[in-house]
Amino acid sequence: MCNYFTKLALLLLVLPHRTLQYCTTAQAPFPKVVGGVTESTYIYQVDYNQATEYLVGVGESYEQELRGDALGASTKPIVLAYTSEASSYAWGKVFGSFGVGSAFTGVKINRAGTRLVIATFSTLRYLIVMDITNGDVLSAT
């Protein structure tokens, strides 16, 4: 009987060590959900800079509330930037000057993490250089 209780005690001591593993429930700062409830938003490419911890995504949105216009279900190109410094949204821009049906499909952050280049993929190719901290357009071709 003593042997039975010894085995049971050892089993109860070993069992928690095998089954109780640390499992984090903390929310990672990236990615964040972008969009609205009435229409679709598509992110076609993202880039991340480890030095400045910026995450930038480009795409298009049909969502009026996200775009801030009253054009209905038409698409506009968007660019969004997040920083892990505050673990949140830094800035975003909707470009309406390219016309309806345009989208950004490429983004690249420079090595220094200070600027980004975004590109359209359509008959007319646009390349736009922006400041990564505030989204100011520095040049466009």
Per-residue pLDDT of the chain (141 residues; tens, 9 = 90+): 557 667 666 656 655 554 445 555 555 555 556 777 778 888 999 999 988 889 999 998 888 877 777 777 678 889 999 887 656 788 988 887 665 567 889 999 999 999 999 998 776 778 899 999 999 999 988
Nearest to 36 by CA among 60, 59, 58, 62: 62
Task: Specify the pLDDT at position 11.
Answer: 59
Cβ atoms 75, 102 nearer than 8 A:
yes
Pull the structure tokens for residue 47: 């880039």
Task: Specify the pLDDT at position 76.
Answer: 84
Q: What is the CA radius of gyration of the chain?
A: 24
Domain boundaries, the chain: 41-140
